[in-house]
Chain A
Amino acid sequence: GESVGLHLPTLSVQEGDNSIINCAYSNSASDYFIWYKQESGKGPQFIIDIRSNMDKRQGQRVTVLLNKTVKHLSLQIAATQPGDSAVYFCAAGPGNTPLVFGKGTRLSVIA
């Protein structure tokens, strides 16, 4: 089965700097990857996803990079803002099966 791990449980960045959150997965059959943001007392909120036929995908201030060779996924947040403070989860799986989530990285933005 799949297992997903985050490289760092916590990350602190200065407001305005770029943030990079890393994630590793184990199952080479996983072809769909998602990043979620979770604020206190709320459910996970979709940020961005990527399929295995892509290496990079960009959204508004966020970029996801996928390295299938080393089974590594990263989320880059540009110009980090206080509202970005939350716990970030990566999730992975074959496209039509339940996603497996990592433990999460808590991002703290220092004003």
Chain B
Amino acid sequence: GAGVSQTPSNKVTEKGKYVELRCDPISGHTALYWYRQSLGQGPEFLIYFQGTGAADDSGLPNDRFFAVRPEGSVSTLKIQRTERGDSAVYLCASSPGTEPYGYTFGSGTRLTVV
């Protein structure tokens, strides 16, 4: 597609529920990144895929968070047993995987846990 698409744009869920957030990267981009942005803060790195594999998942806060990219294109961020502290905007970005490394971000999914 022309840009990075994230769905849904907004998600409200109850504490303890499971949620999935989807990211459609730019066609042909091999690298895909998930970031989380809390109010008034900069994006915080969660996980990075190069192709189908997670190249770096050091930013995932705990084992309730998991992400997949089974075919090297669309990625899903999965959060189990959601907590109120998970409320944030979840941003996805993709890049060609080659220089100049600059990411293209989607508009994000605003997750609210009530």
Contact = CB atoms under 8 A, between A and B. Distances in A.
A61 interface: no
Contact of A32 (B56, B91, B101, B105): B101
B85 interface: no
Interface string B72-94: 00000000000000000001010
B contact face: mostly helix, strand, loop, or mixed: loop
Chain A: number of interface residues, binned into ranges: 20 to 34
B43 interface: yes
A86 to B, nearest CB: 13
Given A43-B106, A46-B104, A100-B45, A95 B99 contact: yes
Interface of B: 4, 33, 35, 40-45, 48, 56, 59, 91, 93, 99-108
